[in-house]
Amino acid sequence: MLELRHISKVYGVDEAQVFALNDVSLTVAKGEFVAVMGPSGSGKSTAMNILGCLDTPTSGQYLLFGSEVSGMDRDQRALLRRHFLGFIFQGFNLLARTTALENVELPLIYQGVEVEERRERAMAALAKVGLEGRASHRPSELSGGQQQRVAIARAIVTRPGLILADEPTGNLDSARGREIMELLTQLNREEGLSVLMVTHEPDMADYASRIVTFVDGRIQCDVLKGANDAA
C-alpha cells in the first residue's frame, strides 16, 4: 500500500545540517496496524509528515496506493490527503466553536459532498465512535477521550485507506488511551483500515501488529508482533 525507498530529510545547511531521516526504507501492506516508536528527535514525526503528504523528502521515493508522491505538486498531494488519508493528532485539533457533528462534516465539505449526505455520514461516523448522543456538543463540552473520538470520526468519515496518528493517546490518561486504542484496533480489524501510529508508550504499541523503531533518523528495528509472541 505504501513504500518509502531510501528517504532522507535534511534540515539546515553545512555544519548545521540535521538528518531528520537518513536513508529510510519501509513497506506497509494494506490492513496493517503499525506502531512507530523511538526516542525524541529520532525522526518519527518527520516520517509521518512525509507519509501523510504534508511534507516532502530531500531525497528518495515515496509510493502511496501505487502513485509516486515524490513527483507530485502541492495541489496533487492535498487531493491525495483529502481523499485517501485520515489524520489524528495528540492535541485532537478540533475547531473550538463548532459542534462535534460539524467538526466531523468538515472533510466532506472539502470534498464537495452535499449537505444531506454529509450529515448522514458524519452521524454514522459519530455512532461508530460511540458519540451519536454528543453530536451537538462543542469540544469544550466534551472530555479529552471524547474529543479524541470525535477526531477519529473526522478521520474516518471520508473512508480513507490509511489513518496516520501522531501520539493519539499522548494527552489522555491510560484508561482513556486504551479506549482509543481499542477503537483503532476495531476499525483496523473490522473495516480493514490501515493504521500507522506514533507512540511513546509500550502499552499502546502493544495493540499494533508491528512495531517499527526509529533511532537517529534510521529504522533500528522492525518487529512483527505475531513472530514476537511465538518467541
The binding site for Mg ion (CB under 5 A) comprises: 45
The residue among 45 and 209 lying less far from ligand ATP, judged by its C-beta, is 45
Q: How far is CA 80 from the centre of its chain?
A: 14
With CB under 5 to 8 Å by kind, the binding choice for 20 among ligand ATP, Mg ion, none is ligand ATP
Neighbours of 14 (CB within 10 A): 5
Q: How far is the CB of 140 from ligand ATP (least distance, A)?
A: 26
The residues pairing with 21 across neighbouring beta strands, listed in sequence order, are 9
DSSP conformation class of 182: H
Q: How far is the CB of 39 from ligand ATP (least distance, A)?
A: 7
Q: How far is the CB of 165 from ligand ATP (least distance, A)?
A: 13
Site residues (CB under 6 A) for ligand ATP, limited to 9-48: 11, 18, 20, 38, 40-46
Show the beta-strand stretches assigned E in the chain.
2-11, 18-28, 33-37, 59-64, 67-68, 85-89, 162-166, 194-198, 210-215, 218-224
With CB under 5 to 8 Å by kind, the binding choice for 11 among ligand ATP, Mg ion, none is ligand ATP
Place of cell 471520508: 158
The residue among 45 and 213 lying less far from Mg ion, judged by its C-beta, is 45
The residue among 99 and 199 lying less far from ligand ATP, judged by its C-beta, is 199
Query: What SS3 class is residue 21?
Result: strand
State the Cα–Cα distance between residues 85 and 160, nearest whole angstrom. 5
The residue among 49 and 61 lying less far from ligand ATP, judged by its C-beta, is 49
With CB under 5 to 8 Å by kind, the binding choice for 40 among Mg ion, ligand ATP, none is ligand ATP
2-11 β-sheet, strand order: 18-28, 2-11, 59-64, 67-68
Q: How far is the CB of 44 from Mg ion (least distance, A)?
A: 5
Neighbours of 45 (CB within 10 A): 20
Q: Is residue 199 at the binding interface for ligand ATP, with CB under 6 A as the rule?
A: no
Binding residues for ligand ATP (CB under 6 A): 11, 18, 20, 38, 40-46
